[in-house]
């Protein structure tokens, strides 16, 4: 399954200045693909009926239908959006979590705190997508694509998954970086991710997959970005994938699955 390109968010607040600021913060977040705004609960309902959303960032104190009441209605939808409450008061926290909200932000919203909420949103949406995919997809093979055929000079050789330290997108091809050289395979990187993500590989960037047991360390580049260092070179890690990579490396280390290659 290809990674989620970003969540679709609806922001709801009856105070225009607060709504504009929340939308600005959301649009600046790398996890967010699109942002729509509504100034009251009724308008929000109309927008949600017209198009799907992954998450709704919802003010609680609004005239007419308030945020808690709107959230209760949304929870009854067949495919309800994830709810994050945004409010100037903390007295509704128990009710908010009782409705099923994944987070509760106090105004004024800070970018760091919003990032934490978006992480929770992305985890829930990814889990839902995986569940839906599992319900409709055919059962995967016990070990999908343990080796890939590589054509060169009229000959075919097979590159084993365990030889590959990282894979790099190259148009409709991927470059497999191994200790014996770089091998070109006609396959989009999204398809290779489907085959190998459950076998110790992680998508760390739009154009890169890396073998977890090939990562020697994580380091910063000259402009503050993150790199996964392997014996064959540094692999860029996008902000969107950094947290997941750290978590997967920690889990692999706890299971004793790292440092199996090289020294």
Report DSSP letters for 33-73, one per residue: EEEEEESSHHHHHHHHHHS--SEEEEES--SSS-HHHHHHH
Tell me, yes or no, whether 227 lies in a domain.
Answer: yes
Question: Can you tell me the distance from the alpha carbon of 261 to that of 2, in angstroms, rounded to the nearest whole number?
Answer: 28
> Residue 10 is encoded by which pair of tokens?
């609806």
The CATH number given to whatever domain includes residue 37 is 3.40.50.2300
Q: What's the predicted TM-score (pTM) here?
A: 0.51
Cis preceding-peptide flag for 228 (omega within 30 of 0): no
Q: Are residues 200 and 92 in the same domain?
A: no
pLDDT value at residue 94? 58
The predicted-structure confidence for 97-142, as pLDDT tens digits, reads as follows 677 788 999 999 999 999 999 999 999 998 888 777 666 666 555 5
pLDDT value at residue 43? 95
Q: Bridge-partner residues for 83, per DSSP?
A: 56
Tell me, yes or no, whether 1 lies in a domain.
Answer: no
- The DSSP 8-state label assigned to residue 31 in this structure reads T
Domains in the chain, number:
2
Q: Are residues 165 and 94 in the same domain?
A: no
Residue where a domain stops, chosen among 82, 111, 136: 136
Three-state SS for 170? strand
Q: Are residues 37 and 61 in the same domain?
A: yes
pLDDT value at residue 93? 59
pLDDT value at residue 3? 44
The predicted-structure confidence for 165-190, as pLDDT tens digits, reads as follows 999 999 889 999 999 999 999 999 99
Q: Are residues 123 and 158 in the same domain?
A: no
pLDDT value at residue 59? 93
Q: Which residues of the chain have pLDDT under 50?
A: 1-3, 262-263
Q: Are residues 36 and 116 in the same domain?
A: yes
Q: Are residues 90 and 189 in the same domain?
A: no
Residue where a domain stops, chosen among 69, 104, 136: 136
CA dihedral of residues 209, 189, 167, 120 (deg, nearest 10): 0
Tell me, yes or no, whether 2 lies in a domain.
Answer: no
Residue where a domain stops, chosen among 136, 159, 180: 136
Structural domain including 167 reads: 147-254
Q: Are residues 161 and 89 in the same domain?
A: no
Q: Are residues 91 and 190 in the same domain?
A: no
């Amino acid at each position: 399954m290809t990674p989620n390109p970003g969540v679709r968010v609806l922001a709801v607040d009856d105070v225009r200045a607060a709504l504009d600021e929340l939308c600005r913060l959301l649009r600046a977040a790398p996890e967010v693909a699109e942002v729509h705004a509504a100034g009251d609960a009724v308008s929000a309902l109309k927008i949600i009926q017209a198009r799907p959303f992954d998450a709704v960032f919802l003010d609680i104190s609004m005239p007419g239908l308030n945020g808690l009441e709107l959230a209760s209605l949304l929870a009854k939808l067949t495919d309800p959006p994830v709810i994050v409450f945004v409010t100037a008061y903390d007295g509704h926290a128990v009710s908010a979590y009782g409705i099923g909200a994944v987070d509760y932000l106090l105004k004024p919203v800070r970018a760091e705190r919003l990032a934490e909420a978006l992480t929770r949103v992305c985890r829930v949406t990814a889990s839902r997508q995986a569940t839906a995919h599992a319900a409709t997809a055919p059962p995967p093979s016990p070990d999908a694509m343990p080796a890939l055929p590589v054509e060169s000079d009229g000959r075919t050789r097979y590159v084993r998954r365990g030889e590959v330290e990282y894979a790099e997108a190259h148009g409709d091809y991927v470059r497999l970086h191994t200790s014996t050289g770089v091998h070109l395979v006609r396959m989009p990187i999204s398809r290779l991710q489907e085959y190998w993500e459950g076998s110790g590989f992680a998508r760390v960037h739009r154009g890169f997959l890396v073998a977890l047991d090939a990562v020697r360390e994580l380091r910063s580049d000259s402009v503050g970005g993150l790199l996964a260092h392997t014996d064959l070179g540094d692999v860029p890690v996008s902000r969107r994938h950094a947290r997941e990579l750290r978590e997967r490396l920690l889990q692999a280390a706890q299971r004793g699955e790292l440092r199996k290659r090289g020294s």
